[in-house]
Amino acid sequence: MSGTFDYICFDDTHAREFRTFLEARGVPYETRADTKDEGHLVVSVPDDLDEELDEAVEAEFERLEREYEQRLKQALIAEDEAEKRVTAISVNLSSGETCYVPIPEEMMNRLLSVLSTQEIGDLVDAIVSAVENPDTRPICHHVTEGGD
């Protein structure tokens, strides 16, 4: 290609759909990695296309850019929503106060896949008790329920 016009595609989907469009219309192109932005691809097309084809290529690229922006917005919204999904474990202190420890939803789901809510509560109560009433003796000297 003598003179070219470069289109920068921001992800693989964008580049693949643009190249498919070009191939369907018989437009020659070359693809290379963008040296300035990792992950971006540059699709070069001849700059001497007839006016109608040139306008069609430009319109399609703009449409694909809008689709990319929509995918990006949706990904950011999904990421933001995932960060907002937080559950909590209630902690009952010996003072009678209750506080809540935020736990990411994914972690809580993993806990609940192996422990019941009662078991999680018992574990938290044991930790609270150990923090509020430290027993610094070796673990083998601790007395547990049902044992001496």
Of 63, 12, 62, 64, which is closest to residue 33 (Cα–Cα)? 12
pLDDT digits (tens, 9 = 90+) for 81-114: 766 666 888 888 888 888 888 888 888 889 999 9
pLDDT digits (tens, 9 = 90+) for 43-72: 999 999 999 999 999 999 999 998 988 888
Is 146 a member of any domain? no
Element (H, E) at 103: strand 98-104
Query: What does pTM read for this prediction?
Result: 0.53
Is 133 a member of any domain? yes
Which CATH number belongs to the domain containing residue 48 in this structure? 3.30.70
52 and 113 assigned to the same domain: no
Is 148 a member of any domain? no
In the block, residue with structure tokens 């474990």:
89
Domain that holds residue 133: 85-141
pLDDT digits (tens, 9 = 90+) for 11-47: 889 899 999 999 999 999 999 998 888 889 999 999 9
73 and 122 assigned to the same domain: no
Split into its structural domains, the chain has a count of 2
Q: Which of 60, 83, 106 is the last residue of a domain?
A: 83
